[in-house]
Amino acid sequence: MIPVKAAVFVGPQEELEIRELQISSTPGSQEVLVKLAASGVCHSDLHALDGEWDTPAPLVLGHEGAGVVQAVGSEVSDLEPGDHVILSWTPSCGRCEFCVAGRPVLCQLANETAYQHVYFDGKPRLRDGEEDVKSFLAVGSFGEYAMVPASAAVKIRKDAPLAQASLVGCAVTTGIGAVVNTAQVEAGSTVLVVGCGGVGLNVVQGARLAGARQIIVADVSEEKLELGRTFGATHTINSREVDLVETVRQLTGGRGVDYAFEAIGLPFTIEACYEAIRRGGTAVVVGQVADGVKISIDPFVMSDQEKRLIGSNYGSSRQSIDFPKIIDLYMEGKIDLDSMVTDRIGLEGVNDAFARMRKGQGIRTVIEY
């Protein structure tokens, strides 16, 4: 066993506790031990921390990580110690109907295990003395080491900085993928993005990459709207000051946008996205709501106007293809990850990172180990 300093979730609304845990130094036959270099702090961690999602304790939070492979299991042939990897929070089994169909984010086994914060064998990997400690989404990137299924460690080029690379493990892939993979936005489209956080700004970058003609962003923070512009927005709406749907109509000649993306996780902004699309348009739910929240839409309008309301999980990504591709886009200067890292902290600063996120400050805080 080796010691792992980690930030442990002990219950809703409680501060994360920095503890020294233990992990085996020998991975299972199809697993990989990764020494984390960096982890982003995502709003999904905050949903868990705030008790909006039913999350078991004790558990190491964090799911947006990158690091260096320390050891590989006996059956792992495509990774070796020293490889740089981005961690995926949907380890795919490669065999279920969804994996075979090329939709690993829907993997049956991951849904039954990683989404319950345990590994494919149903067990956790971390210990606190005699007590088991779970890992958020079978990643737990708020710890110095993580054991992951081999499919959840995706090799990337070694010249990419790992702080920026960590963000590809969630926000960047989620945002760009929602545009490119899920909605498949065509060049010349009009796009609305509601919420300019780590995820929403990557939806903006994705829309720019896809060649969208008009990219309208909405947020309640002027600072975030300004950031939206630097990432490619053509128009901004402060939805605290003006009516969101009405303003989108004005900006699109009364028609509505071709595509709208919700990147907050609130019922009324999801409804607003649906209202803001044109006839035949597509609204994409990316933001994730608290357990039990429902939305209300008019199903007559849905059929009459052929409006589409779809969901996007992890940007419908195929991580082993998309992670290295997104890293190449960054290294070639086609997307910006540098300005997404607005704070760099040690693990001890993690509770302050959540305090900043609650106030809507900064884009991404990255923990560096």
Ligand X SMILES: NC(=O)c1ccc[n+]([C@@H]2O[C@H](COP(=O)([O-])OP(=O)(O)OC[C@H]3O[C@@H](n4cnc5c(N)ncnc54)[C@H](O)[C@@H]3O)[C@@H](O)[C@H]2O)c1
Which residues of this chain interact with Zn ion, rule CB under 5 A? 42, 44, 92-93, 96, 99, 107, 170
Alpha helices, H only, 239-298: 244-251, 267-276
The amino acid sitting at 154 is V
Nearer to ligand X, 72 or 312 (CB): 312
Paired residues of 23 in beta bridges: 2, 126
The yes or no reply on residue 43 touching ligand X (CB under 6 A) is yes
Nearer to Zn ion, 117 or 278 (CB): 117
Residue 264 site contact among Zn ion, ligand X, none (CB < 5 to 8 Å, cut-off depends on kind): ligand X
Nearer to ligand X, 76 or 357 (CB): 357
CA distance 12 to 28: 32
The yes or no reply on residue 347 touching ligand X (CB under 6 A) is no
What end-to-end distance do the CA atoms of the chain give, in Å? 19
CA distance 204 to 93: 31
Smallest separation, CB 357 to ligand X (Å): 5
Nearer to ligand X, 4 or 49 (CB): 49
Check if the beta carbon of residue 67 is closer than 8 Å to that of residue 85. yes
Using CB under 6 A, count the residues that bind ligand X. Answer: 33
The yes or no reply on residue 199 touching ligand X (CB under 6 A) is yes
Residue 195 site contact among ligand X, Zn ion, none (CB < 5 to 8 Å, cut-off depends on kind): ligand X
Smallest separation, CB 136 to ligand X (Å): 12
310: left (phi over 0), alpha (psi -120 to 50) or beta: beta
Check if the beta carbon of residue 275 is closer than 8 Å to that of residue 257. no
Smallest separation, CB 106 to Zn ion (Å): 8
CA distance 203 to 42: 15
Q: Following DSSP, what letter does each residue of 234-255 receive, concatenated?
A: SEEEETTTS-HHHHHHHHTTTS
The yes or no reply on residue 140 touching ligand X (CB under 6 A) is no
Say what the alpha-carbon torsion angle 350, 53, 177, 346 is, to the nearest 10 degrees.
Answer: 10
Check if the beta carbon of residue 133 is closer than 8 Å to that of residue 126. yes
Check if the beta carbon of residue 182 is closer than 8 Å to that of residue 317. no
Q: Segment near ligand X (CB under 6 A), from 23-31, 198-206, 300-308, 346-354? A: 198-206
CA distance 358 to 296: 26
Nearer to ligand X, 75 or 352 (CB): 352
Helix (H, G, I), strand (E, B) or coil at 67: strand
Which of the residues 80 through 119 are near ligand X (CB under 6 A)?
none
Q: Binder to ligand X among 42, 85, 191, 276 (CB under 6 A)?
A: 42
Smallest separation, CB 314 to Zn ion (Å): 9
Residue 360 site contact among ligand X, Zn ion, none (CB < 5 to 8 Å, cut-off depends on kind): ligand X
Residue 357 site contact among Zn ion, ligand X, none (CB < 5 to 8 Å, cut-off depends on kind): ligand X
The yes or no reply on residue 174 touching ligand X (CB under 6 A) is yes
Q: Binder to ligand X among 65, 140, 149, 287 (CB under 6 A)?
A: 287
CA distance 61 to 46: 9
The yes or no reply on residue 266 touching ligand X (CB under 6 A) is yes
CA distance 125 to 42: 22
Residue 236 site contact among ligand X, Zn ion, none (CB < 5 to 8 Å, cut-off depends on kind): none
Residue 62 site contact among Zn ion, ligand X, none (CB < 5 to 8 Å, cut-off depends on kind): none
Q: Binder to ligand X among 288, 316, 319, 365 (CB under 6 A)?
A: 288
Check if the beta carbon of residue 173 is closer than 8 Å to that of residue 319. yes
Check if the beta carbon of residue 236 is closer than 8 Å to that of residue 227. no
Smallest separation, CB 296 to ligand X (Å): 17
Query: In the complex, which residues of this chain contact ligand X (CB under 6 A)?
Result: 42-44, 47, 170-171, 174, 194-200, 218-221, 224, 239, 263-266, 269, 286-288, 312-314, 357, 360
